[in-house]
Structure formats: structure tokens, C-alpha cells
Amino acid sequence: MSARYDELMALKSLGQTYAYTDRDVMLYAYGIGMGADPMDDKELAFVNEAYFTARPLKVVPTFASVAAWGAGPGEMKLNRLLVVDGERDITFHKPMPVAANITADSSVLGVYDKGEDKGVVIRHKTVLKDESGAELATLVASRFARGDGGFGGPTEGQPEAHAMPARAPDKTVDITTRPDQALVYRLCGDRNPLHSDPEFAKRGGFPKPILHGMCTYGITCRGVLQTYADYDPSAFKQHGVRFSSPVYPGETVSMDLWKDGNVVSFEAKVKQRGVTVIKSGRTVLA
């Protein structure tokens, strides 16, 4: 293999330290659109800690994706302008606390070179742990670097996509995004100007700033929460997706869902443009 491949595969960072509070938990929930209806008690439970009748604040399971924002195996030296999320799969070992000091261990799982002018896919893992060392969540991510292929790494070997049911969806839900949603969600950690700067977005090949893929990921978690999990974060054991196309802020995400036992399969589309934005979605419930 090439020196570049070996360099990427060797990246590892252990014991990265982070801390978050209930403010971060509520900001994330609001960033993925919860609380739009100020009278919806089920969603208010994720964005409002100040109740007349006391009750615990809930944490959206996919908050794990930003709880240690910036954690990773190391500097990959990629063309940031051309990097997008490829997939995200989180295994939840226990519900995320409302506030915590945590550590993150990150390493590279695989590098797949699609060729010059086709890009490279890099898969990496981050394990979040609480102060006692107990595992909270394992995050597996892939990033697609469209401008960094052609250095001689392997071309195949990525995991197979989750197979979708052949029947019609059991349920469909529509979730509307706000025109300013990317400007809110970026405050959860991802300050990539692709999501906020019109000029930067155009240089990246988009007509305007796009919604963060990880915001769309959180939206799909909302879809499962409201349909098959009864808004119970502890019901989630795993939540994974493949990103296929970006959402533009203000569009409506339409989720098709299928439930087979404790597995919920899903895909998401933007009907206005006839585009599938999430493929091979899979949630495992308790």
C-alpha cells in the first residue's frame, strides 16, 4: 500500500477529554427542530428543563454525535472544501447523561480509495466513556473526501448497506426544517462554512448552504422517536444511516419507516426535489 494509506490507517487518539451541560443537550434538540410547537409536551421534554411540575430533561440519543464534537483519530490533511459525511452508525451502551465529563478514544477503521477525481472514503470509530470509564456510545463514521483520491489504497471492502424491506412503508412522517436551521445547528460544534456561507457553498458545488448531514441524521432519530419509541431515549440501541444527498434548510424531510421486530428500517426523501437524502437507515430498539 501507499505511504498515504499507511499514514491514514495509523491515526489514533486516546483519552480526549470533553464536558457538556444541559444547555448543550437542549441546543442540540432545538437544532434538529424539536420545540417548534411550544405546546407539544413530548418534544418540550427535550428542550425545556423549567417545568411547573418537575420532570427530568430528556436527551436525544443522537446527541452522542456532538457530545465530543471535534474528537477524532487525528489530522487527515483533506481538502475541507470537498469533504461530506458518508455514513453514521451509533451504538448506544447506555442513555447519555444530561451533563457529563467524558473521554473519547478514536481510531481509523478503513480507507477506501475510489481513484483520482473520485475521492476517498475514510471510516473511523470513536468510543465515548463516562468518568468511571464505562462506555456510553460507540460512533462509527465515514467521510467522503471528493478531492483526495488516487493515492493507491484499496478500492473495496466497505460494509454492505442495510437491506430495506420490499413492501410498502408501514408509516410515513414529514418533518419540516426551518430556513435558518443550519445556522442554529452549527452552534452544536460543526462550524464548516459549507452550511452558513453562500460563497463557500457555491465554491463547493452547491447553489446555497446545505443542512449538515448530521442534522439530517438527528432528524431521522426524531422520526423514530415519535413513531416507534414513544419518545423514550432509552429505547435506542443503535441508529445508523447512509447519506445520499443534502437537504437544503427550509425543505421537508419525508421519512418512510418499516418495523420488523425490534428493527426499524427507514429512508428519507425531499419530495419537493424528488431526491432521496438518507438510504439504508436502521434503528435497533430495546
Among 89, 113, 148, 190, the one annotated catalytic: 190
Q: Which fold has domain 3-285?
A: Thiol Ester Dehydrase; Chain A (3.10.129)
Task: Give the cell for residue 208.
Answer: 446555497
Quick one: pLDDT at residue 166? 97
Average of pLDDT values for 78-103? 91
Local structure of residue 142 (DSSP, 8 states): E
The pLDDT of residue 157? 76
Q: Please say whether the beta carbons of 119 and 142 come within 8 A.
A: no
Kindly report the average pLDDT of the chain as a whole number. Answer: 94
Of the residues 89, 113, 195, 239, only one is catalytic, namely 195
CA angle 26, 17, 34 (to 5 degrees): 15
Percent of the chain having pLDDT more than 70? 100
Residue 209: which pLDDT band, with cuts at 50, 70 and 90? very high
Return d(Cα 85, Cα 171) in angstroms, integer: 27
Task: State residue 62's pLDDT score.
Answer: 98
Residues 241, 280: contact at Cβ < 8 Å? Answer: yes
Collapsed DSSP state (helix, strand, coil) of residue 237? strand
- Extents of the domains making up the chain: 3-285
Predicted pLDDT of residue 1: 60
Name, in order, each residue with C-beta under 8 angstroms of 188's C-beta and a sequence gap of 6 or more: 24, 27, 28, 31, 66, 69
Query: Could you confirm whether 195 is annotated as catalytic?
Result: yes
Q: Average pLDDT of 170-199?
A: 96
Q: Which candidate, 191, 196, 211, places its Cα nearest to that of 66?
A: 191
Write the secondary structure of 71-117 as one string of H (helix), E (strand) and C (coil). Answer: CCCCCCCCCHHHEEEEEEEEEECCCCCCCEEEEEEEEEEEEEEEECC
Query: What is the per-residue pLDDT across 26-61, written as a single tens digit (0 to 9) for each?
Result: 999 999 999 999 999 999 999 999 888 888 999 999
Q: Beta strand pairing status for 12-20 and 100-115?
A: antiparallel
Catalytic (active site) residue 190: yes
Tens-digit pLDDT profile for residues 100-119: 999 999 999 999 988 887 88
Tally of residues, the chain:
286
Which residue in this structure is represented by grid cell 446555497? 208
Which secondary-structure segment (H or E) carries 242? Answer: strand 236-243
Q: What is the pTM of this model?
A: 0.93
